[in-house]
């Protein structure tokens, strides 16, 4: 007995063509992580096995594996964690990134974050080695939700202490932080959003580094950054809101589907 609904609707089965395959969240997220890693590798933000990527889906965290080069990682190599860092599923012979504590603690304290990109990209890491925060030397810093990118204190990679240092240096709405003598972390509401933040941070770090080689860089004032934020507010409300929140303490004291995959949804240490 039928209720009148066509159970084959939308599958391609009515016209004799093969059914269209629906991509589930698990498969989609794994493929996005692989594609994003390869994209960042091609752009020079990742090298060999350094860095790691993750995406939060509900109460699970999908994270890249440890000690596999990005051009050799496949969807089946992505590990799935519980939010406390325990392993939910992982292919035999593969381990989750050793930076699991950093990723899981960030998701715990930052409900606004759905994806994390950690890299050892050249310019950002150089400034991290020097212990130099990145000031507002270019207005594009507003997309990172801050007017200065801070440096989290050094701790051994993969440790709970490093995770805590990042937590303490990286409060909302900030989207990027340098890790002393290590690298950088960028976050976003999607994997593309986080990857874009990582790329923006590396570009900004490159500008600052090169300017320092020549002389003393000019830093934009609070008033100049406020004007930028107002312009952003008209164009990209989510970015403007984050940037304005970053400016709020200064103002008080002085008077944003997948881009990596087609379809309906839109190495490592």
Annotated catalytic residues are 99
Q: How far is CA 206 from CA 14, 133, 138, 182, in A?
A: 56, 13, 11, 16
CA angle 100, 106, 109 (to 5 degrees): 140
Grouping H, G, I as helix, E, B as strand and the rest as coil, residue 171 is coil
Q: Are 243 and 142 in contact (CB under 8 A)?
A: yes
Residue where the block lists tokens 């991290």:
128
CA–CA gap between residue 37 and residue 27 (Å, rounded): 16
What are residue 116's DSSP bridge partners? 54, 187
Give the number of residues written for the chain.
Answer: 269
Helix (H) and strand (E) counts in the chain: 7, 8
Tokens representing residue 72 in the block: 């050799």
CA–CA gap between residue 223 and residue 201 (Å, rounded): 22
CA–CA gap between residue 22 and residue 40 (Å, rounded): 27
* Beta carbons within 10 angstroms of residue 74's beta carbon: 12
């Amino acid at each position: 007995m039928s209720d009148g609904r066509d159970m084959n609707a939308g599958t391609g089965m009515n016209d004799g063509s093969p059914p269209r395959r629906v991509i589930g969240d698990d498969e989609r997220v794994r493929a996005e992580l692989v594609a994003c890693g390869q994209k960042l590798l091609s752009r020079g933000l990742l090298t060999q096995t350094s860095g790691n990527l993750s995406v939060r889906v509900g109460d699970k965290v999908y994270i890249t594996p440890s000690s596999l080069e990005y051009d050799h990682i496949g969807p089946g190599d992505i590990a799935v964690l519980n939010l406390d860092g325990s392993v939910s599923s992982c292919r035999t012979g593969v381990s989750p990134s050793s930076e699991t504590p950093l990723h899981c603690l960030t998701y715990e304290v930052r409900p606004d974050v759905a994806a994390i990109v950690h890299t050892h990209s050249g310019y950002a890491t150089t400034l991290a080695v020097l212990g130099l925060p990145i000031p507002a030397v270019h207005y594009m810093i507003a997309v990172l939700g801050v007017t200065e990118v801070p440096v989290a204190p050094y701790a051994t990679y993969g440790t709970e202490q490093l995770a805590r240092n990042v937590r303490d240096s990286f409060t909302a709405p900030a989207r990027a932080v340098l890790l002393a003598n290590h690298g950088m972390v960028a976050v976003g509401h999607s994997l593309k959003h986080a990857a874009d933040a990582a790329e923006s941070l590396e570009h900004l770090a490159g500008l600052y580094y090169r300017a320092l080689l020549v002389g003393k860089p000019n830093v934009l004032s609070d008033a100049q950054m406020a004007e930028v934020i107002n312009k952003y507010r008209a164009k990209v409300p989510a970015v403007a809101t984050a940037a304005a929140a970053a400016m709020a303490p200064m103002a008080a004291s002085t008077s944003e589907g997948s881009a990596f995959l087609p379809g309906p949804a839109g190495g490592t240490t």
